[in-house]
Amino acid sequence: MELRKAVRKFVQKEITPNIEEWETDGFPNEIFKKMGKMGLFGVSHPEEYGGSNLDYFAAMTVTEEIASSGCAGLGMAFNIQALMATSPILKFGTKRQKNNYLVPSITGEKIASLGITEPSAGSDVAGIKTTAKKVNRGWILNGSKVFITNGIRADYQVLIAKTERLDSDSMYSIFLVDSNMKGFSVGQKLRKVGMHASDTAEIFLEDVFVPDESLLGGEGEGFKQLMWQLNGERLIQATACVAGAQRCLDLAVQYSKERKQFNKPLSQKQVIRHYLADMHTKVESARALLYSVASRYNQGEVLVKEISMAKLFSSKMYFEVADQALQIHGGYGYMDEYPISREWRDARLMRIGGGTDEIQKEIIAKEMGL
């Protein structure tokens, strides 16, 4: 496929040579602009907003190639921009919102973040405490967010908050909040186990006024919109997990052929060969499930259970394969100069972000009628 070849060429030229530097200093905003010029952010978005209007598999192809680069931090930041934050704007936004936020995000001129997780509300989305109080011509936001990918560099945030009406129970709504608004502040850059190339931050909102046109969709529709968004987020995370696991397998195979023990390559040792065969089977099993679910999702099916299954299975598989690949590398695998150590660190997040393993199991069980 020409798209895959083009993205792979871009990765080899613009990403691979810079990974070690970005792991220390973080990737520069300029790479988003280069991705925008390549059309990578808008592969599956409509042409009228600068996209290519291709199908979901095209978006998956881009994610796979970037994930295969070995810079999972950049891959995560890319997916926030390309699909997780901008897709709700496309589906629920007004023409003005699309022009002001979606279009410059597709070109890479604006950087987006998702404001969901809070200090006391992670998997428990219903526990969100950030509030939006209705005032004349707009809303006043108060609260905080945490673990926000792209939080340091983002130009705006797709943010969920609790809204209240006098005649109804508390509800949730989503707002498009510019980072330069008065009262919007960014805390320290958080230190993480992995994903070092991307920035993760705390966000604080103190009497932030946003105009009425900042509301995404209707008041009180935020929870429904968020559940829709999370389905797409989890499926693209599964895509990144399968691609990342494939890279771990490739690194293990390469090392096992090059590394000699007792005058023979490791790949000729039965125990290592069996490890690799088992890893390969896990990767292909996850890929088969992913592509099956993605095919149905691409046709417009609502697949809450199946997407959770793909996310659960692929994220666990990714870490298992990364861990086994590191084991095959032995002591060298624990050294920073070997890329498998970075893959191992980065893989662990995928069982937490986008809904933990335990949340996915609850969703699956509920959909089973249990």
Q: Which domains does the chain have, with CATH numbers?
A: 2-110 (1.10.540.10), 114-220 (2.40.110.10), 224-367 (1.20.140.10)
Q: Give pLDDT, residue 168.
A: 56
Residue 25 to residue 192: CA distance in whole angstroms: 13
Residue 277 to residue 5: CA distance in whole angstroms: 28
Annotated catalytic sites, by residue?
A: 233
Q: Give pLDDT, residue 120.
A: 85
Q: Give pLDDT, residue 215.
A: 97
Sign of the C-alpha dihedral, residues 306, 307, 309, 314? positive
Nearest to 324 by CA among 300, 343, 299, 302: 343
Q: Give pLDDT, residue 1.
A: 75
Chain centre distance of CA 175: 20
Q: What angle do CA 91, 95, 100 make, to 5 degrees?
A: 100
Q: Give pLDDT, residue 127.
A: 81
Q: Give pLDDT, residue 192.
A: 95
Residue 176 pairs with which residues in a beta bridge?
158
Per-residue confidence in pLDDT tens, the chain, 370 aa: 799 999 999 999 999 999 999 999 999 999 999 999 999 999 999 999 999 999 999 999 999 999 999 999 999 999 999 999 999 999 999 999 999 999 999 999 999 999 999 998 877 777 889 999 999 999 999 999 999 999 999 999 999 999 976 555 568 999 999 999 999 999 989 999 999 999 999 999 999 999 999 999 999 898 889 888 888 899 999 999 999 999 999 999 999 999 988 889 999 999 999 999 999 999 999 999 999 999 999 999 999 999 999 999 999 999 999 999 999 999 999 999 999 999 999 999 999 998 999 999 999 999 999 9
Residue 14, Cβ density class (10 Å: 0-12 exposed, 13-18 middle, ≥19 buried): middle
Amino acid occupying residue 259? R
**Beta-sheet pairing, 156-163 with 171-178:** antiparallel
Residue 303 to residue 154: CA distance in whole angstroms: 31
Helix or strand run (H / E) with residue 271:
helix 270-298
Helix or strand run (H / E) with residue 171:
strand 171-178
Phi and psi (nearest 5°) for 292? -65, -45
Residue 185 to residue 203: CA distance in whole angstroms: 6
Chain centre distance of CA 95: 26
